[in-house]
């Protein structure tokens, strides 16, 4: 379920997974590995900053090309 009060500039876990092309479990692994930081929400419905997700997506794309 999407958060109704999502702050501008943030993505839900579902949106983050979709942007990165991974599963929700993959998002949790990125947080566990400290490659992605939660920026709000609740423990069950975390938010992630759009800038952080975009930077991570670019880094992952760069690594896949090399």
pLDDT, tens digit (0-9, with 9 covering 90-100), for 17-55: 999 999 999 999 999 999 999 999 999 999 999 999 999
- Asked if pLDDT for residue 66 goes beyond 70, the answer is no
Question: Is 8:39 a contact under the CB 8 Å cutoff?
Answer: no
Q: In what order do the strands lie in the sheet with 46-49?
A: 10-12, 46-49, 38-41
Residue 3: per-residue pLDDT: 46
């Amino acid at each position: 379920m999407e958060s109704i009060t999502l702050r501008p500039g943030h993505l839900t876990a579902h949106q983050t997974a979709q942007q990165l092309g991974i599963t929700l479990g993959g998002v949790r692994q990125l947080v566990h590995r400290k490659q992605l930081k939660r920026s709000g929400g609740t423990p069950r419905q975390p938010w992630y900053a759009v800038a952080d997700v975009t930077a991570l997506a670019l880094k992952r794309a760069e690594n896949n090309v090399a």
